Amino acid sequence: MGTPLSGARTATTAVTEPRFEAVAAGPEHGEPLGQLFVRSEVRCHCRYFHFTGSTNAWLDRCANHLDENRAEMLGALAAGSDEMSGIVAMEADRAIGWMKVASADTLPKLYSQRLYRKLPCFAGDRAGTFTIGCILVDPARRRLRVAQSMLDRAIATVRERGGRALEAFPRRAEGISDAEAWTGPFSLYERAGFRVVHDFAPYPVMRLAL
């Protein structure tokens, strides 16, 4: 077996993880968020749950009228609308993550979907219930705990706003792509203490009591 030559040095490459901060989204994050959606090739600009037209009309808008989604996103941020309430992960002046976190009554389209409509877990007093509508992380910054940092900030922010519960709608299945996990992975919420309140594969409902 050979031995290292005397005085030889082993080359090493330092790997520097990005430094970012998860903060509540505001009007100043409009342009960075717009760039994040473009870089990620996600054409919705977080407007799907607020679009009232048909499925075909939505597909047409995303294919041919992307500027409308972008303009509505920027307008909602500028107005402080709950439609763009959420957490943004900022790396210097660059947005590398987005998490939609809004009061449940802001997202009737989500709760009226066939999978979730009239479930017993949504009965009773819903005051103070918040919802994680979606998560987007820059493809170049995935698996670096960006989503975890945004979720931690989201929980703290909802508590500050007097929220009583935070609900999530992950897809729990093996081998799904990042695009299919746009509501967040099951394991992310499980680690944060969310509990399954309605379970059916592959779309459980999870809730964190605050």
Query: Quick one: pLDDT at residue 175?
Result: 75
CATH number for the domain whose boundaries are 23-209: 3.40.630.30
Confidence of residue 201 (pLDDT cuts 50, 70, 90): confident
Give the span between the Cα atoms of 207 and 194, in whole angstroms.
Answer: 5
What are the start-end ranges of the H helices in the chain?
30-39, 55-64, 66-79, 108-111, 146-160, 186-191
Query: Quick one: pLDDT at residue 151?
Result: 98
Confidence of residue 143 (pLDDT cuts 50, 70, 90): confident
* Neighbour tally for 97: CB within 10 Å: 24
Query: Quick one: pLDDT at residue 9?
Result: 39
Query: Quick one: pLDDT at residue 57?
Result: 97
Give the span between the Cα atoms of 109 and 125, in whole angstroms.
Answer: 19
Enumerate helices (H) and strands (E) in the chain, giving the number of each: 6, 7
* Tens-place pLDDT, residues 157-184: 999 999 999 999 998 877 778 778 899 9
Task: Decide: pTM greater than 0.85.
Answer: yes
Query: Quick one: pLDDT at residue 2?
Result: 39
Query: Quick one: pLDDT at residue 17?
Result: 62
* Tens-place pLDDT, residues 45-89: 999 999 999 999 999 999 999 999 999 999 999 999 999 999 999
